[in-house]
Amino acid sequence: MTYLSEKSNNPITLSTLVKYKKTGEKFSCLTCYDSSFAHLMAIAEIDVILIGDSLGMVVQGQTSTLPVSVADMVYHTQNVVRANSHALIMTDLPFMSYATLADAVANARAVMQAGANVVKIEGGGELAEIVSTLAKNGVPTCVHLGLTPQSVNVFGGYKVQGKTDAQAEQLLNDCETLVNAGASIILLECVPAELAKKVTEKFAVPVIGIGAGVDTDGQVLVMHDMLGVYTKKVAKFVKDFLKDSGNETGDILGAFVNYHNAVKNKSFPSVEHSF
């Protein structure tokens, strides 16, 4: 296996992702929480690194993302940024850290100053004022819709969203409101592939999917999941790229390269990984 260059001359920006969308080129995204794995992702040329509040479960051993703090996100963002030489860096604002506009501004500033390029928040059209205010202050946002883990107690568990006509219409309306407010990226989790395709085709901003079919502009997985390090029940949308036959060297770097290539050539996700 031939690995890609360790130092990229073409760092990924939001403009790059918009260009990819226009040309139909897919892009890869993985979660990451430390410098060692970020270094390997730079070599594999993963397009987007998400410092996700999933660290609550896969790093801290929590049962959900809810206990994660802004200080945790700042610390792990700093770790990743030190080793990154290629990817766009996106960081979650954790549970209740953007409950008010003032909180959103202060906590977005904290993670951006730690090195994030984009902040990710969960919710629907009710986030429009936050998205607009952050955009006016130079903070790009990725809005996470569908299954939003920070609202797990509202949903009553981790369930597919957007299955009914009413739910699908609401999701489309939320996306329109948020894009009009200035959202830079949409992330869809556990929504039917047909609905995700509609969202991707309707809006000019890049759309990232997880359990949302192959037609979104990009794909994201939790790094531990795609390496087979499961801390919970394996979700339908997860594939173990460490054990995958396409990983010729059978190592972690090979798994990252294989995942990146599978997203680019649209072999992942397949129907079995979609709803």
Based on the residue annotation, tell me whether 126 is a catalytic residue of this protein. Answer: no
Residue 21, Ramachandran bin (φ over 0: left; ψ between -120 and 50: alpha; else beta):
alpha
Task: Tell me, rounded to whole angstroms, the distance of Cα 137 from its chain centroid.
Answer: 22
- Measured between alpha carbons, how far is 197 from 171 in angstroms, rounded to an integer? 13
Among the listed residues 75, 68, 91, the one whose alpha carbon sits nearest the alpha carbon of residue 35: 75
- Measured between alpha carbons, how far is 126 from 48 in angstroms, rounded to an integer? 26
List strand residue ranges (DSSP E) for 109-162, in order.
118-122, 141-146
Which among 189, 201, 248, 272 is annotated as catalytic? Answer: 189
- Measured between alpha carbons, how far is 149 from 123 in angstroms, rounded to an integer? 10
Question: Which residues belong to the active site?
Answer: 189
